[in-house]
Structures are given as structure tokens and as C-alpha cells.
């Protein structure tokens, strides 16, 4: 595809739109992962987490043809994203981090990059398709989306500090994304429907999809709520021990 031709601009616009749609999920992940860091490290985590996520997503887009050949990849990615959604909730309620700041910072970075990689598996396919093999379009589109992701993450972080319920909403969004990935796994077409599924079983497939969505969201929120309560109880118990001594 030649540079700056009508098809080139059309493909670039499509990629930017895809990236902007995905920026919401990215902003939530980055903000939630950085929320427990000291204020002086939050901006660093947001910026470098975004850079790391963009690099990983670019590499994934280059290897999209290879990724398509891996059976079960969407299923594994979906299950991994469910775990990350749970961990974002489970880390609540434990008070201040006791480990060194650097460990906390890199822990946030790891969460950001891994979560974005898992979430990006299906999204990368759309970007690669819109680019029609033109890697320069992918890079330009991703670079345009970076400031939006950073700004969005900063805004979400401010809202989280005022409205903690956003953490639960963010975890629910990740759970829904994970369910989408699981449902989109070709190996599970007999359960959820797909090109290889029988049309006569459409009602059962739809029911299976809704059950998966409900189980993913309820499971993440329920398990996260229990973990948060346990963390708070342990934190209060530790505080009492410190006061007693």
C-alpha cells in the first residue's frame, strides 16, 4: 500500500478508531494497576506502562499470522485476564504495601503489560486486518493512541481515588472482555456457536454465552470481595498487634 494514498488514509483512520475504542480498556487496566503506588510513581507507571503495552501490542501485531495458528490461545488469554481482574480486586484492603517501592512499581508495570497483552490478542487481529500488511500504519495508529491512553489513565486514577466502586466496575469490564475471548475461542465453537457449529443449537449456544458472561463477572467480583474482606481483617489484626506491643 502506497503512502498517503486514499486507501492508506482510509486504513489509518480505521486503525486509529480501533485503537481509540480499545483505549478505554487500557486506561482502566493501567489506572487500577497504578492506584496503590505512591503519587510520585503513579505518573511514571502510567507512562512506562503505556509504552510497554504499546511495544507488546506492536510485536503481537507483527506476529498475528503466527498467533492465528495457535489453538486455544483465546481461551488461555481469557482465563489469564480473569485472574488479573481478580487480582486487581484482591489487592484492595490490605493497607500500605510493605515491600520496597521499586518492587511495587515493577509489579504494577508487569500487571499493565501482561493484562494489555492478554486483552490485545483478539484486538490485534482487527488492527492487523485493517492495516492490510502495512506495518507503518500499525505503528502510526498506536502512536496516535498513546496520549489518549495516558490521559484516560490519569482521569480514571483520579476518579478511583474519589469513587472506589470504579475498581469493581473496572474488574467487571475485564471479566466481560475475558468472557468474550473465551467465547471467541474456535476450539469451543461446539459450545458457544461459530462457523463450525450447528444452526439448530443456536438457542443453547446463546444460553451458554450468557452463562459464561454471568459466571465470569460474578466469579471475579465475588472472589475479589472475599479476598478484600480477608485482607482487611488481616490488616486490622496486624494493627491491633502493633498497638498491643
Alpha-helical runs (H) found in 184-201: 189-192
* Residue 137's pLDDT band (cuts 50, 70, 90): confident
62, 136 contact by CB (below 8 A)? no
**What are the distances in angstroms from CA 59 to CA 22, 128, 144, 201, 213?**
17, 11, 17, 38, 29
Over residues 176-191, mean pLDDT:
85
> Residues 150, 157, 79, CA angle at the centre, nearest 5°?
85
Going 160 to 177 to 111 to 126, the CA torsion angle's sign is negative
pLDDT at 130 over 70: no
- pLDDT given at position 123: 62
**36-48 burial, b for 16+ CB within 10 Å, e for fewer?**
bbeeebbeebbbb
Q: What is the mean pLDDT of the chain?
A: 75
pLDDT, tens digit, 9 for 90 and up, residues 16-41: 766 665 566 667 777 777 877 887 78
pLDDT, tens digit, 9 for 90 and up, residues 199-216: 667 888 889 999 999 999
- pLDDT given at position 56: 79
pLDDT, tens digit, 9 for 90 and up, residues 49-91: 878 877 877 777 677 656 656 788 788 878 888 888 888 788 6
174, 85 contact by CB (below 8 A)? yes
Q: Whole-model pTM?
A: 0.65
**17-29 burial, b for 16+ CB within 10 Å, e for fewer?**
ebbeebbebbbbb
Amino acid at each position: 500500500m502506497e503512502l498517503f494514498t486514499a486507501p492508506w488514509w482510509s486504513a489509518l483512520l480505521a486503525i486509529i478508531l480501533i485503537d481509540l475504542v480499545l483505549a478505554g480498556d487500557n486506561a482502566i487496566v493501567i489506572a487500577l494497576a497504578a492506584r496503590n503506588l505512591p503519587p510520585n510513581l503513579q505518573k511514571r507507571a502510567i507512562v512506562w506502562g503505556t509504552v510497554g503495552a504499546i511495544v507488546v501490542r506492536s510485536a503481537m501485531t507483527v506476529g498475528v499470522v503466527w498467533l492465528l495458528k495457535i489453538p486455544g490461545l483465546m481461551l488461555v488469554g481469557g482465563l489469564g485476564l480473569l485472574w488479573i481482574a481478580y487480582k486487581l480486586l484482591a489487592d484492595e484492603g490490605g493497607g500500605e504495601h510493605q515491600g520496597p517501592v521499586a518492587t511495587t512499581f515493577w509489579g504494577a508495570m508487569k500487571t499493565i503489560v501482561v493484562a494489555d497483552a492478554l486483552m490485545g490478542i483478539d484486538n490485534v487481529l482487527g488492527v492487523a486486518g485493517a492495516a492490510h500488511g502495512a506495518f507503518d500504519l500499525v505503528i502510526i495508529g498506536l502512536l496516535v493512541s498513546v496520549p489518549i491512553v495516558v490521559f484516560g489513565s490519569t482521569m480514571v486514577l483520579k476518579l478511583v481515588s474519589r469513587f472506589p466502586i470504579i475498581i469493581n466496575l473496572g474488574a467487571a469490564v475485564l471479566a466481560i472482555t475475558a468472557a468474550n475471548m473465551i467465547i471467541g475461542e474456535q476450539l469451543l465453537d461446539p459450545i458457544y456457536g461459530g462457523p463450525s457449529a450447528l444452526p439448530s443449537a443456536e438457542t443453547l449456544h446463546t444460553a451458554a454465552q450468557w452463562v459464561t458472561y454471568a459466571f465470569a463477572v460474578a466469579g471475579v467480583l465475588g472472589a475479589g470481595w472475599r479476598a478484600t474482606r480477608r485482607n482487611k481483617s488481616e490488616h486490622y489484626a496486624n494493627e491491633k498487634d502493633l498497638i498491643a506491643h
